[in-house]
Amino acid sequence: MKISSLQATFQASRPQSAAFFERAKHTISGGVNGNLRYFAPFPIIFEKAEAASLIDLDGHRYVDYLLSYGALMLGHAHPEVLKATQEVWEKQGTSSFGATHPLEMEMTDELLELYPSFDQVRFTNSGLEATLFALRLATAYTGKSHIAKFEGHYHGAHDHVLQSVNPTADLAGTTQAPHPVPESLGTPEYYRDHSVILPFNDWDACERILTENADLISSVIMEPMLSGYIAADRTFMKNLRELTTKLGIVLIFDEVKTGFRIEVGGAQAFYGVQPDLTALGKVVGGGFPIGVVGGKRDIMELASPLRSSKKSEVVFHSGTFNGNPLSIAAGLATIRYLKQPGNFAQIVAQTNELRTGIDALAKEYALPFHTLGEGTIFNVLATGETVGHYRDLGKNNNQLRLALDYLLMENGVYSKPMNRFSLSAAHGPAEVKATLDAFEKSMAALKQDPLV
């Protein structure tokens, strides 16, 4: 079995997607409106979704584990979300005031209850905007010019955090002293020169680097779980909180992936560690664009126009669609559903059942797959070795995992090749069974015709 033959089968069975992409690539750069959406030979073009399913242009139905990169915690078009957004039109009469409205306060109250690290919040339109604003606040608060981020962690597509997201080994330096490696063309050297790269889950190296650069570093920004599924060691997290406090460095949790998915209160509830600032996105919008920055009052107040009449003394933050009623209403419906007794636990239970089944099938077919994650997120790794940080992912047999992904798509399961799996309230026993059936067929094919 070769990847090329799997791609040929994929292409032959999706002529409508192929034709669409052929047209799109001439007028949409690369045929996609986001580089992460592309995979060879072309991305599937979807035209409809139902609950936990996606339907493509060629009529193929898939159990959806992409879920808009984890944003759809209740699945597609959940009745509670539909009801909430319909009420916006009936009660508010608009999709955007461009001004403050009462739903903003309702969402704020919910967030402050669930995230004890929040004294105040500000809404943005995406997780990208949230991390950008959090970093600006931290820089203003400390007066220091550098940021520290962890190797392999992704915080959105803005210049200062597009460093060492997926660095190659020949450029990345040693594991104890990683080098900043730009992720994109067009990233000014300033950001590389003002970035400090940290090794995830290596406390001795992390402590040394932070201590040596404490006079430069305004903030440490991190995914508490790398890519949403590789957990930080609990002692590592506790030590990081203590050291950043001691050194006067703002600790920022990027919980765009993990917020409401590891626990309803995010990874910070899982660890029992409170950061100074948190960036949220995805789930908190219930399927609509949103971002949130929440954190300590003395930092958040730097953005308040009440603190000074001089623009130079206030951290600027604004956005026409910040806190728009559609996003807030959909997010409120999602959060209130998840808070109801048993609802979040049921999604976790379905996730664990699926993971247990995948792990058992890998063992039955003697294939080096295993699942890794927490809460409602996991990934399927093609290695028998422990994975605890970015460089450990080099142990993964990417070609084997890629082959599994193409086979899964042929058998009606979609998460996008090499992507993590997210579950929703719409994933019930029938979806789990169908998915395990697809994994069994796919693993049997791999066993019968090994990858060459």
Q: What positions carry a catalytic annotation?
A: 154, 254, 282
Contact 47, 55 (CB under 8 A): yes
Using DSSP bridges, classify how beta strands 250-254 and 225-226 pair: parallel, antiparallel or unpaired: unpaired
The distance in angstroms from the start CA to the end CA of the chain is 6
Compute φ and ψ for 231, nearest 5 degrees.
Answer: -75, 145
User: How many C-beta neighbours within 10 Å does residue 25 have?
Assistant: 14
Q: Which two tokens stand for residue 367?
A: 């294939």
Peptide bond connecting 41 to the previous residue in cis, omega within 30 degrees of 0: yes
Q: Give the whole-angstrom CA distance, residue 272 versus residue 266.
A: 10
Q: CA distances (Å), 35 to each of 14, 124, 157, 241, 254, in order? A: 21, 22, 11, 34, 21
Please check whether residue 270 is in contact with residue 228, taking contact to mean a CB–CB distance below 8 angstroms: no
Which secondary-structure segment (H or E) carries 301? none
Distance CA(404)–CA(382), nearest Å, equals 9
- How far is 257 from 272, CA to CA, in rounded Å? 18
Instruction: Write out the H or E segment, with its range, that includes residue 214.
Output: none
Strand order in the sheet with 413-414: 46-50, 53-56, 61-64, 413-414
